[in-house]
Amino acid sequence: MTDPEAGSPNERADSGTAVIEFIFASIVLLIPVVYLMLAISQLQAASYATTTTAISASRIAARDADPSEHRAHQVADMHFTDFGLTDVPVSIDYSCAGPCGQAGSLVTARVETKVSLPGIPLLFGADNSPHITLRAHHTDVVATAGGQ
């Protein structure tokens, strides 16, 4: 008579593979999901930083008849650092609807930045790395002439 607790020969051959299957599935599924979450969070942070930089740059231009590009870039660096992004190239351009610096005219700041996904610059190098370009613009009204 066979022992009912011993089980069939096929069950004994499969014993212990659940741990290996779990580890393999974890590696195949978990690593891409974690990378996707990191990439999305970095893009979201860059999007927020680009938008707040556009708002701040337009406010700087609306309150100063001759907006300082250096000041706008300092504010941009501050915003990007606040969101955990450093050494991100940022370009800021201004345009005016009407005479710049005159009360009631509109000043628009356009901000463009290029963000690399996590880990990609390590593979391709910082200069050849593929990137995602983010753009934001904000328009503000000049309240008083000459920023007074």
Q: What would the pLDDT profile of 111-139 be if each residue is shown by its tens digit?
A: 999 988 887 777 777 677 788 999 999 99
55-86 residue pLDDT tens:
999 988 888 766 677 888 899 999 999 999 88
Q: Is the pLDDT of residue 6 over 70?
A: no
Q: CB count, 10 Å around CB of 28? A: 9
Tens of pLDDT, residue by residue over 14-36, are: 666 888 888 888 888 888 899 99
Q: For the chain, how many helices (H) and strands (E)?
A: 4, 3
- Reference 137, options 114, 107, 116; nearest CA is 107
Beta-bridge partner residues of 89: none
